[in-house]
Amino acid sequence: MDEQQIAILLEAASRFPRPQGVKLSYGTAGFRADASILSSTVFRVGILAALRSLKTQAVIGLMITASHNQVSDNGVKVADPSGGMLTQEWEPFADSLANAIDAEDLVRLIIEFVKKENIQFGVKSAEILLGRDTRPSGESLLEAAKQGINSIVGAVATDVGVVTTPQLHWMVRSRNKGMQASEAAYFEQLSNSFGCLMDLKPKETTANVMDDKLTVDGANGVGGEKLEELKNFLKEIVIDIRNSGKKGGVLNEGVGADYVQKEKVVPHGFGPNDVGMRCASLDGDADRLVYFRVLSESNKIDLVDGDKILSLFALFIQEQLSILNKENMEAKNGYPVRLGIVQTAYANGASTDYLKKLGLEVMFTPTGVKYLHEKAAEYDIGIYFEANGHGTILFSEHFVSWLEGKNIEFDKTSKGSEQQKAALRLLAVSKLINQAVGDALSGLLLVEAILRHKGWSIQRWNELYQDLPSRQLKVKVADRTAVVTANAETVVVKPSGLQKVIDAETAKYPQGRSFIRPSGTEDVIRVYAEASTQEAAENLAKSVAQHVDQFLGLGSN
């Protein structure tokens, strides 16, 4: 770094002083806090994004959003060249930048990091795609990000406007693959691949009676706005969008996937007239999706969460692979496709049992999308979904190339065969699903395509298995790092003896399962429990929470 660059950074950083007493940590969600204290952080993440672009010699993304948080919050996260999340190796640098005391401290950290990473200036310009959701604070924070980017000589900020978080990730991935990266291209890819799946439906299911209408809760956020645009490209599906944000509703207040999944009640704008209808809910930035059905004469719902979405996707893909493998085994030219399912310990035990009974390989990772995504990428087809509705399907480039080759081969030898249709369906899924990150809009279209393919109602889908009752609690502690876990957070290593008493409590309940893990953001220990009845799950969670409190707590809630 030359003297001119250092001077520019010092001058720009002095305009964005760090608020006193604020310490932030970069996690799966990036940085999140009350929007009023974030300008300094977003400015600094702009610098980080520019340096990341210089380091990778690729386009980087920066998204301003706080997803399912309340409207007064905001946040910022970085998308890597693959369209995935910022590499974990750079997270400590993100933390140190955000918490640098003043401009001089900030520039010192940057100089040290640039030297350590051997980041070259002037070799190639940096480009960062900037997006934001619909939060009122987004515009001013976007300006802070631009100033951070512009403080790195040669860096260019490209504002893509108000977009969903998955759209920004998709655009970054597309740009770095040399493909069209506009919003219009995103809508075109989703609608074309959905249309392809519709054209490939089995004829016998077309006569099945299935309600074509889907009612969607848009969380009064950007997802509702974008779905309004996307639905104009779609045929064979009628989408009624509520809580689109146009009629003065408040973002994520009594609406959205997070609210529906946690509270298990209808969102605002839904009621008795919707009983039995197929409904879906997006979260604030449209990277989570859950389905639900309104129950009669109450505000209660039948929740169809991320575990059930995963199970539907896994079942469909397994069926298509089975059709392909039948042909391949007969011709003795099979491709040993590795299909893997990735879950966390929070996945309902009934879903894991169902997937294993299908003969599928199920792996577990610690909680956090970055861990799930990384593990899923190890397979030819890797599927991950959290119960909260965030997940996707990853297809290896090698497997997609093989499918494309098989399709050409089928054109010559068995055009229109069931095997070719299976290959075309899998190719369409690989284009419809957002392989960069969980995407509520692409996920919703894939769910709708599969339900039509199978001729299933939401009730039939929900009957794949019956969830085990569960309960989650928090225990306040002085120091959450006192708890150390292993085996994808299912076993407590420290403090010594705690796992033994958890095991003893769990053994008292039929189908009992319980684990604890330290929160990633606050000094609490999270407790999860499952059992054969809701009362048993409640009692197990309380017992485990009491043991945690006795070992190291300040009182549970």
388 is in an annotated binding site: yes
Consult the annotation and say whether 17 binds a ligand.
Answer: no
For every residue of 467-532, which 3-state class applies, written as one string? CCCEEEEEEEECCHHHCEEECCCCEEEECCCHHHHHHHHHCCCCCCEEEEEECCCCCEEEEEEECC
Q: Is 409 annotated as a binding residue?
A: no
174 is in an annotated binding site: no
Kind of pairing between the strands at 470-477 and 553-556: antiparallel
How many Cβ atoms are within 10 Å of 45's Cβ, its own excluded?
30
| Residue whose entry in the numeric block shows the structure tokens 């991950």 | 384
CA dihedral 71, 77, 82, 88 (to 10 degrees): -130
386 carries a ligand binding annotation: yes
Both tokens assigned to 384:
């991950």
- Flag whether 520 is marked binding: yes
Q: How far apart are CA 378 and CA 382, in angstroms?
A: 7
The β-bridge relationship of strands 126-132 and 60-64 is parallel
Bridge partners (DSSP) listed for residue 294: 275, 301
Cβ–Cβ < 8 Å for 352, 343: yes
Is 471 within 8 Å of 326 (Cβ atoms)?
no
225 annotated as belonging to a binding site for a ligand: no
285 labelled ligand-binding: yes
340 annotated to bind ligand? no
Do 63 and 85 touch, CB atoms closer than 8 A? no
The response to whether 126 counts as a known ligand-binding position is no
Decide: 219 and 281 in contact? Cβ < 8 Å: yes
Number of residues written out for the chain: 557
Phi, psi of 129 (to 5 degrees): -85, 125
Say whether 519 counts as a known binding-site residue. yes
Is 423 annotated to bind ligand? no
Amino acid occupying residue 148: G
Identify whether 25 is a catalytic site residue: no
Give dist(CA 75, CA 69) in Å, integer: 9
Phi, psi of 217 (to 5 degrees): -90, 115
Report the alpha-carbon distance of residue 512 to residue 252 in Å, rounded. 33
Task: Please state, in angstroms and rounded to a whole number, the distance separating the CA atoms of residues 57 and 62.
Answer: 16
Given the residues 39, 40, 53, 67, select the one marked as catalytic. Answer: 67
Is residue 518 a known part of a binding site?
yes
3-state secondary structure labels for all residues of 169-180 = HHHHHHHHCCCC
Where is the binding site for substrate, in residues? 386-388, 517-521, 526
Where is the binding site, in residues? 67, 283, 285, 287, 386-388, 517-521, 526
Known catalytic residues? Answer: 67
Where is the binding site for Mg(2+), in residues? 67, 283, 285, 287
